[in-house]
Structure 1
Amino acid sequence: MQVQQTEPLGESAISNAVELAVIGLGYVGLPLAREAATVGLRVVGLDRDPRVVDGLNSGRSHVDDVSDEDVRRMLAAGFVAYTDDDCLTRAQTVVICVPTPLNGDGGPDLSAVTAAVHAVAGRLRRGQLVVLESTTYPGTTEEVVRPLLELESGLRAGQDFALAFSPERIDPGNTGHGLRDTPKVVGGCTPSCAARAVAFYGKLVDTVVQAKGTREAEMAKLLENTYRHVNIALVNELAVISHELGVDLWDAIRCASTKPFGFQAFRPGAGVGGHCIPIDPNYLSYKVRSSLGYEFRFVELAQEINRRMPEYVVRRAQDLLNTAGRPLHGSRVLLLGVTYKPDVADQRESPAVPVARLLRQREAEILFHDPHVPEWCVDDVPVPRVDDPMAAVAEHDLTILLQDHSSYDLPALADAARLLFDTRGRIFRPGVEVL
């Protein structure tokens, strides 16, 4: 039952030396802590990994979008990272930014969230604001987080403390949109909770969008990424169909993109990777399946299509070698770019892994190059790295461009390669196979 309250919860009930504590100092939590420190808030961070904590306290960043210089400025502003939960006691606001991977059943693994909530509950004080930013299914804040906080603290959300959900919208490597100029969606358990959360995020971002409640804010995050997941699956299936029909899908996308309304371009690839698109739609599928008893068919189909793209890429690679008179078995194959998106070091859910695994199963000899990845293992087996991609493409039977990092001179690589398979649609010239 929600407790309605007409006046926002104030911060006068607590007087602490810290205005923000961030739990989870990864790709979401660390940029949030940086922005808060930049605007003058007193910030502490909590992370279970002592290597992360030691690195940050020594001025070293482990996140692509946060530089070492950024961390040094945070430290100069008073930021300290901890592994000890006691740092939460002094905070006016606590924001939870821990991972929510998939469990064995395909649903969200909330163990990190519940561990963070237990840590907060044991130190919860009247007047504090608690915000969950970790992506999850609609209902998590009300059905999981709120009961744990209230049961263990004896306090009531909306009366004694404020509780809200605000989905993270971090896009690693995006230099055009950062935390400040990306609108922040906020949903509170009660109107007073929402007011507190809106006021807090208003210090950090230019635009705060208030959702009707926590469930709507949770659904907004899943809608954003499910939209992308489904549309990427559409163009991935079109890539397969278009190749069989003799249609240049890339040119069709270029032409369709000239329409000034009613169309947004999505492009095919070797699969989908990263922290959001391959993972987040599963939370919604899980919720539909567990609560309603049937499947979210759009998401299930998109997952099926996107999961089979690495196999399609390897099949196309095999056909390309066969046409050149070489079997895939025993061929030397160079993979260029093994991260999930250009110009970052992030390898989470990268389709390069299943592509490499399938090539190994077919007994091809694989090597890789990536300017952002000094070492790479697939199934705990190291993949040899070449130092000079320009020289290597001339020595390998086939080169597969999996990620188009800006440091690659793609025309020059195409000229030097024996065979080049471009899965990114960047090199259109005779002799180059394009997905």
Structure 2
Amino acid sequence: MAQNYGRARQNEIYSAGIHGRTPSVPTDFATLERRARARMSRRGWAYVAGGAGEGRTMAANREALDRWAIVPRMLRDTSDRDLATDLFGQTLPAPILFSPVGAGALAHDRADVHIGHAAAELGLPYIFSNQGCAPMEDVAAEMESVRPGAPRWFQLYWSTDDRLVRSLVSRAEAMGAAAIVVTLDTTMLGWRPQDLNLGSLPFARAEGIDQYTSDPTFWEIVAERLKGATKEKPEISIGAIKTLLSIARNVPGELRRNLTAPEPRAAVETFLDIYSRPSLNWDDLAVLRELTDLPIVLKGVLHPDDALEAVERGVDGIIVSNHGGRQVDGSISSTDALVDVVDAVSGRLKILVDSGFYTGSDVFKALALGADAVCIGRPHMYGLALNGADGARDAVANIVAELDLTLGLSGQSDVRTLTRSALKRL
């Protein structure tokens, strides 16, 4: 990011205002969320914005951040500010990443390609979703067209079939991933009333399974299952016909054939059966280390003992996360967990955080509490819903700009030297 990025972003918006133009992506989260809701379908909103149970964890994420106040210092030269940070051998212009969000096409067609484009424009990493709506190779190619060498990571959901795990990791390496992010907290879906009340599971409609349907190994598994399958007469209903149409459109191949062929429906059933493995345990990490030399990052760590185990197992980084409040209702907030994890780990691996961080001041607090970087989820999805790639870019650009201004206005000049002395617990 250019020096004085925050002021440059402000000036860009104010200059447009002279001509009566206002931002297509609101600069505050509340308005951004409200406008995105008006734009998105009921199913899309339920999936992206919804949380587990009564939403207590989502509320806790925000309440925990509010318990930490920034304490600005005065008469310090902050004219030269540095947002850059280093992660796994890459220097990033700001300590912010685009989080993986599954079934993004509920917000915008080929969402992942647009998000990748946005991230590449800013030079920030995009963690490709394992439950994406475009093959990882397509997203990588788009990012390369915008910025050669644009940083990207890959999120791995550990399948019950290790052959698929090997294939996904191999593809991630080939498309230039700088790290493998193993998501730990979704070995089964949490209780999500917003989706349940609509009877809406995107993956059952082949929404968000493009990493699978673009994988030769996955289709081998589908073929094996078809050989041993017994034919059952499906229930016919208007809803079933709509679902079949969605599957036929979202699975590769000619639409007319997909409507009658057994493979597309079998692909969905196979995905639902094998996408994640509840038996995943610490010993499995040794298998992953044999598969790749890329840094391994564990996403979903909340307990300090798990963080210490990650250190002992030679893991390279963790993402402190409660999955945006979407898995366990009443879970510890990501901010409270971050404090405990940072204290336990004492700098022995990289610590990132997500879940409930929506603004530049939120990012400032996370960094001061000891995070090396912050992953942004819902804001870039809302921007995407409003204005595609440009919207996703602007939503995160606004967060970076506010971080820059908050840094300077708080008497700080380097994100890498922030400590808890910049905050006060209320």
TM-score when normalising by structure 2: 0.27
Larger helix proportion of the pair: 2
